[in-house]
Structure 1
Amino acid sequence: MPNIDRRIVFILVALAVIIPMLLSINLTVSLSEPTLKFYTYVETLPAGSTIMVAFDYGPSSLAELNPMAKALLKQCFDRDIRVIGITLVVDALTLANALIQEVAAEKGAVEGEDYVFLGFRPGAVQVILGMGTDIASVYDTDYNGTAIGEIPMMQDITNYDQIDLLVDFASSDTVESWIIYANVQYDQKIAAGVTGVIIAQMFPYLQTGQLVGLLSGILGAAEYEN
């Protein structure tokens, strides 16, 4: 085998790294049917609608779920759809609030009018069922400590009857809880974005119509952003 000057090898490696960085390469991501259903459902909601977003994941699932949550928030604020953020996972409190604030600042959304983050309350089942009757009975204040009655956008929102869609971004079994206690009990429309490891168990709910749309991990986020 002939000896090759190491400098030539280094130059070739450098070119292999630099050239793709200089070229504008657009990779087309095709939309899967579950992602398209999710996007279309949100896109067809009229301005002034309300979506409740449950950030049910911790830091370990940030890479998979934060991008899809961010894409949804942007879509909502662009379409003047109000967002109520909550979480059933205490580890999500800080990251969920930070994400909402980041996107709201980027889109010029006003806290209390365009969005509110209610935060966390213990007892997932009790929280889900309680909001079916009266959200204020579960969340008497938002994450910042502001009384629900003092938040402008909450004046005409009492329970699931005023929520046009509930979206759960989840890394565990919270999607099933939302389906059992919000969809079955109160006929709440639900969509979900989940990590890749639990996507298989979500498809039956999509097939039965208990989920109106579904995003799967990093691929789902890429599709939705597309």
Structure 2
Amino acid sequence: MKAILDFLTLIDRRIIYSVLIFSIIIPLFLKPSLPIRPTQEVIDAYNAVESLKEGDVLLLSTDYGPSAYPELQPVYEVVLEQAFKKNVKVLLMTHWQFQGLIVGVNGIEKVAKKFNKKYGEDYLILGFKPGVAGVMVGLSEDFRNVFPNDYYGKPIDSYPIYKDIVGDDNVLNYKDIDLLFGFEAGATGDFWVQIVQARYGVKMAFSVTAVMAPGYFPYYQAKQVVGIVGGLKGAFDYESLAKKRGLASLIMVSQIPAHTIILLFILLGNIGFIIRRIIK
């Protein structure tokens, strides 16, 4: 009995780490299929992008950095693929200097190359400007008030995409945006809802990190946002709806057995601890 209790309560950490490593690596090679049960808020976010028609305008805001890459980048790239397949015009901006630009620009250039989309005709990178609330209010009047030049320093109204989007007034603002999709690892999404949706009625959806997701559900329940993709599970669901096995799907097949093993070791340790106390 003592040997069993010692095993349960004093498992060598090297054994624990070794088991965890194999539980992560083996599924990456086997690539097992996982049951797909997308939640309604993810389905709604996916359908919001799917409902866009050729020539519609999608505004993307990449407000995250490398730390949130595994959770948000898979959704970001699938959304871009949906948009480019439908010949939707894409505008990209960020409230996160450097980090948001890095993930945003790299992602859109990667997907645009895949679909042979041309910069300035099919998509436009607006870039970054500091001051979240001021930027959002400024965009309501004219995007050129905030982004007179694009990411590369050229006037945004000099591109064909600008002329395709704007009406007779030659002004680009929220009235021209058919859907805003925010990718959020912080509080920027709250500003989007409380300022842009509340004041200007812009249709919007969000992909957020798992720790941020609970704070966004009241917006979804109040129908202030049309859909939410929460965390890695939401990203996996979104990829599944697009029939794609991407980064989120790859991580999920390793995360499930790893989490299961961690819980198993915790359970074994507690069982051994309880039995030891009873015996004493």
Query: TM-score, normalization: structure 2?
Result: 0.72
Please give the alpha-carbon distance, in whole angstroms, between the structure 2 residues aligned to 1:124 and 1:20.
40
**Is the counterpart of residue 99 in structure 1 residue 133 in structure 2?**
no
Residue 137 to residue 106, structure 1, CA distance change in 2 (3 Å): same
Question: Which has the larger helix fraction?
Answer: 2
Residue 197 to residue 19, structure 1, CA distance change in 2 (3 Å): closer
- Give the match's secondary structure for 1:166: strand
Contact 1:68 1:193 in 2 (8 A): yes
**Is the counterpart of residue 168 in structure 1 residue 176 in structure 2?**
no
Please give the alpha-carbon distance, in whole angstroms, between the structure 1 residues aligned to 2:89 and 2:162.
10
Deviation string 1:145-181 (CA, Å, 9 cap, x unpaired) is: 1211111111233101010011110001111100111
Contact 1:85 1:119 in 2 (8 A): yes
2:87 partner amino acid: D
- Give the match's secondary structure for 2:120: coil
**Is the counterpart of residue 40 in structure 1 residue 44 in structure 2?**
no
How far apart are residue 99 of structure 1 and its match?
A: 0.9
- Give the match's secondary structure for 2:53: coil
Query: TM-score, normalization: structure 1?
Result: 0.88
Residue 180 to residue 146, structure 1, CA distance change in 2 (3 Å): same
Contact 1:48 1:82 in 2 (8 A): yes
Please give the alpha-carbon distance, in whole angstroms, between the structure 2 residues aligned to 1:19 and 1:64.
19
Residue in structure 2 matching 1:109, options 111, 114, 117: 117
Residue 53 to residue 21, structure 1, CA distance change in 2 (3 Å): same
**Is the counterpart of residue 180 in structure 1 residue 189 in structure 2?**
no
Residue 18 to residue 139, structure 1, CA distance change in 2 (3 Å): closer
Please give the alpha-carbon distance, in whole angstroms, between the structure 1 residues aligned to 2:230 and 2:162.
31
Contact 1:71 1:221 in 2 (8 A): no
How far apart are residue 134 of structure 1 and its match?
A: 0.4
- Give the match's secondary structure for 2:211: helix
Q: Hey, what does 1:124 align to over in structure 2?
A: 132
Deviation string 1:72-92 (CA, Å, 9 cap, x unpaired) is: 111111111111000011121
Please give the alpha-carbon distance, in whole angstroms, between the structure 2 residues aligned to 1:65 and 1:51.
17
**Is the counterpart of residue 213 in structure 1 residue 220 in structure 2?**
no
Q: Hey, what does 1:89 align to over in structure 2?
A: 96
1:163 partner amino acid: I
How far apart are residue 185 of structure 1 and its match?
A: 1.1
1:171 partner amino acid: A
Where does the alignment leave 5 or more consecutive residues of structure 2 unmatched? 1-21, 167-171, 241-280
- Give the match's secondary structure for 1:52: strand
- Give the match's secondary structure for 1:197: coil
Deviation string 1:121-161 (CA, Å, 9 cap, x unpaired) is: 01111111111110011101111112111111112331010
How far apart are residue 19 of structure 1 and its match?
A: 9.9
Q: Hey, what does 2:150 align to over in structure 1?
A: 142
Please give the alpha-carbon distance, in whole angstroms, between the structure 1 residues aligned to 2:205 and 2:130.
23
Displacement over 6 Å in runs of 4+: 17-20
Report the aligned-residue RMSD.
1.7
How far apart are residue 26 of structure 1 and its match?
A: 2.7
**Is the counterpart of residue 66 in structure 1 residue 80 in structure 2?**
no
Residue 141 to residue 202, structure 1, CA distance change in 2 (3 Å): same
- Give the match's secondary structure for 1:96: helix
Aligned residues: 210
Please give the alpha-carbon distance, in whole angstroms, between the structure 2 residues aligned to 1:171 and 1:19.
28
Computing the radius of gyration from Cα coordinates, the structure with the larger value is 2
Q: Hey, what does 2:9 align to over in structure 1?
A: none
Contact 1:125 1:177 in 2 (8 A): yes
Residue 219 to residue 112, structure 1, CA distance change in 2 (3 Å): same
Please give the alpha-carbon distance, in whole angstroms, between the structure 1 residues aligned to 2:195 and 2:29.
49
1:60 partner amino acid: S
Residue in structure 1 matching 2:59, options 52, 59, 71: 52
